[in-house]
Each structure stands twice: as C-alpha cells, then as structure tokens.
C-alpha cells in the first residue's frame, strides 16, 4: 500500500546540527529548505531567538562551519554555514542563518587552469581529476578520503527517506568509461561544477550531491521506480484528503512541434551540415516530423515515452501548425552527443507543459520524508487526474502560526529525459 497518511507535523520537525561541535538546534523560530533536481545544491535558512542562544552556541555559529539537517535522524542535506544576519527590533533580536549543500565550494571555485585534462580520459577519470583538490564533507563518520562517484540514486533516496524499496533503476556505469575525445578544457572563469556538468551532460548525465556528503551522483532521473507516497485531493474522500492546497498548471507555450539541431563541424550551418538530427515533441499533437522531410539523411532521435497526464493534455493539447526550432551545439562532435543535446533541450521545454504543486502539513507521508527524484501517486479529481508524477523539487517550511509544511513541485513522468 502506498503511504499517504500524514505523520503528526510536530513529530517531523527539522533538526539542525553543527557537526564539528555537536551542537543541535531542534527549536527554531522558523526555517526553509529548498531542494530541486536541476539546482546545483540545496539551501537551508533558519531563524533563532538570541535570548535562547548560549554563549557557546553563539561562538560556534561561524561562517564555514559544517551543518547537518535531519528529519527524525534521517539526513536531508549537509553543508556549510554561509552567512549570519543578526536583526534587532522592538520584538527582540533574531539570528538568521543561511547554508548551502556540501558541494557549494565546487560551485564557488573556478577550475584550476594549471590542471591538465586529457581527451583520452574517460568521464570517470575527468571527474576524479576535477574533484582531486576537494574532499567529501567531513561528518557523519565519513572516512572517504575523496569524493566518490556513483551511477545510481537509489541509495541516496533510501538515506533521505529511511526506506528500502525494490526500485527498478537504470545504471549507467558503462557510459562513464567512454573516452571524452574533445572539449576538456575549462572556459575562462568557469566554475568547477559548471565545467563538470558541461562535460557530463554531453553523455546525457546529470550531477547531484548525496544527502550524506559522501558522493556525487552521475545519473539521470528515474521514472521507472514505483510510487513512494500517495496524495489525495478529492471532494469525495473527506478525511482521507492529505492536501492543504495545490493543483495543476498545463501549457502549450514554449512547446515546439520539433527540434532540429546540428553539431560542431560537418559543414557548418544547419543546411549544409552533415552532423544533424531531429526530434519530435511528444507533448503536442500534430505532424511534427513534417519539418524533417526537406533534409534527407537527417538522424531521427526517438521521442521520450511520457507518463499519464490530465485529459486536457492527452486529448486537447493541439498543435495544428508546425513550430520547429533550429539549434546548434558546439559541444556535440558526434551523433551520440548531438542526440543527448536534443533530448536535454527538449526536456527543458517538455517539463513546462505540466507542473503540479501540492502542499501538505509536516514533512513526511507514512513516516517517510518527501524527497526529490521520487514518484508520488496522485489522486486529484479536482484537477481530473489520477496517476503517478515525479517530484522535481521540494520546500520544507516552518513559520510562526503555520507549523511545518512541505510544498512539492511535480512534473509528468518522462518529461526530463537526458539520454
């Protein structure tokens, strides 16, 4: 049975710990944690009443100190305290603190221009070289000398939710062994994380840090897993409803009928290039492939297989007029790289065709904290939809007078496909 019962929100509050000192702040005036699959790292901010802070606690709150965020001892993120903002008024003095996930140094630091990357390296070897100057987050009993690379996100989901489930995952270890072949020099002023991401996406992979600070996931969204939670938003279900508010937004804006792209070399501009491919947008109806007919020999990239959607999309998202887009990617030097580019560009558009946002009380459903890169079963007769959605982003909040809440941003299965 899919967990859908909301745990007592008061029993699912976030706990913040300074890892080096072991100082915990279970009681806060409020907090907000934001995590999104496409965002480089999660962020967390919280407010403390100065009158409740001891001298030792004040002294320990120094930018750069390690922070771990947990829900009922289940790690949600770990990172470093970035900033402290102390504000005073008639109501008292409040310390507002902001931290980012443990990979934030990779986002802030530029790639070292003296470090040599070879075109004969594999993706694994390049990432290992890039990560060489950095170490994994020092906490939670982590004894790894360096950051690890993993090609599957299932273990990270289990860490966050505290659940072990038989997920069907797509492992991509073999693709990490492909030779890079070209473009392995960082651009000027390019952050290390951006450089690593630029090369990884060439192979249809996405980089994300693990919640425990030990590894970087180099993988793809997993749409094959079974639902981990259930949402009920129904007129008839009464007490079984667990949605505070929410619903769907569907749109045909920014939905081309197809995308045609050419890569580096092969004759230059699209009309003369020998390295070119096209993909049809499966979100909209109409003959998107009609744009391909004037380009003999064009490589056709199979369209992604999409999950269910409301009837307004599956039956009524019409696109009678051709609206092709023509693109160019200097990073694509062969057919596989151009295919990954096309899928990535189409995904960034397809995901905007359906966004579902739901808010629940507390942070857990059936004892499991809600997590990014999981599937949730939604039964929403108010939006005329029943089926699975993929959780792309979450926001945990606690505010005075509101208690704890979780807002989920969900998209249609299959609409964020990189490879």
Separation of alpha carbons 320 and 288, rounded Å: 9
Nearest-angstrom CA–CA distance, 38 and 96: 26
Positive or negative torsion for Cα 176, 173, 204, 295: positive
Question: How far is it, in rounded angstroms, from Cα 109 to Cα 107?
Answer: 6
Q: What is the pLDDT of residue 239?
A: 61
Token couple for 22: 């072991």
Report which of 187, 192, 209 is spatially closest to residue 331, judged by C-alpha positions.
187
Mean pLDDT of successive 10-residue stretches along the chain, which has 419 residues: 62 81 90 96 96 94 94 92 94 94 92 84 89 70 69 91 57 66 84 92 92 91 93 75 90 91 76 87 86 89 90 64 88 91 95 94 91 95 89 95 93 90
Copy the structure tokens of residue 166.
């038989």
Q: Looking at the DSSP assignment, which residues form a beta bridge with residue 92?
A: 89
CA distance 288 to 290: 5
DSSP string, 341-403: HHHHHHHHHHGGGEEEEEEEESSEETTEE--TT-EEEEEETTTTEEEEEEEEEEEEEEETTTE
Three-state SS across 48-89?
A: EEHHHCCHHHHHHCCCCCEEEEEECCEEEEEEEEEEEEEEEE
Domain boundaries, the chain: 105-219
Write down the pLDDT at residue 182.
Answer: 80
Decide if 285 contacts 298 (C-beta within 8 A). no
The predicted pLDDT at position 267 comes to: 63
């Amino acid at each position: 049975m899919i967990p859908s019962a909301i745990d007592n929100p008061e029993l699912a509050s976030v706990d913040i710990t300074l890892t080096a000192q072991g100082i915990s702040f279970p009681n806060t005036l409020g907090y907000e944690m934001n995590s999104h699959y496409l965002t480089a790292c999660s962020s967390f901010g919280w407010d403390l009443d100065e009158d409740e802070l001891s001298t030792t606690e004040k002294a320990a709150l120094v930018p750069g100190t390690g922070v771990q965020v947990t829900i009922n001892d289940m790690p949600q993120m770990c990172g470093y305290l970035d900033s402290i903002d102390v504000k005073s008024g008639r109501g008292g003095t409040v310390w507002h603190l902001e931290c980012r996930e443990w990979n934030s140094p990779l986002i802030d630091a530029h790639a070292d221009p003296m470090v040599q990357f070879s075109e004969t390296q594999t993706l694994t070897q390049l990432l290992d070289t890039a990560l060489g100057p950095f170490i994994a987050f020092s906490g939670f009993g982590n004894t790894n000398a360096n950051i690890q690379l993993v090609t599957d996100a299932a273990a990270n989901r289990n860490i966050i939710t505290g659940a072990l489930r038989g997920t069907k995952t797509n492992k991509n270890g073999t693709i990490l062994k492909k030779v890079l072949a070209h473009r392995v020099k960082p651009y000027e002023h390019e952050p290390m994380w951006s450089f690593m991401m630029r090369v990884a996406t060439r192979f249809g992979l996405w980089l994300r840090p693990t919640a425990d600070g030990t590894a970087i996931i180099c993988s793809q969204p997993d749409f094959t897993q079974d639902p981990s939670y259930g949402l009920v938003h129904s007129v008839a279900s009464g007490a079984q409803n667990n949605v505070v508010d929410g619903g769907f937004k569907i749109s045909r804006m920014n939905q081309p009928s197809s995308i045609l792209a050419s890569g580096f070399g092969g004759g230059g501009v699209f009309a003369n290039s020998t390295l070119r491919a096209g993909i049809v947008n499966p979100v909209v109806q109409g003959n998107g492939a009609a744009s391909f007919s004037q380009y003999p020999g064009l490589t056709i990239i199979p369209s992604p297989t999409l999950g269910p959607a409301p009837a307004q999309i599956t039956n009524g998202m019409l696109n009678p007029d051709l609206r092709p887009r023509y693109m160019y990617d200097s990073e694509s030097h062969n057919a596989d790289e151009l295919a990954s580019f096309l899928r990535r560009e189409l995904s960034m558009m397809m995901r905007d065709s359906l966004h579902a946002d739901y808010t629940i009380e507390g942070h857990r459903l059936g004892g499991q904290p809600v997590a990014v890169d999981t599937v949730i079963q939604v039964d929403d007769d108010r939006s005329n939809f029943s089926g699975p959605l993929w959780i792309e982003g979450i926001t945990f909040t606690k505010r005075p007078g509101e208690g704890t809440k979780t807002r989920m941003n969900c998209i249609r299965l299959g609409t964020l496909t990189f490879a």
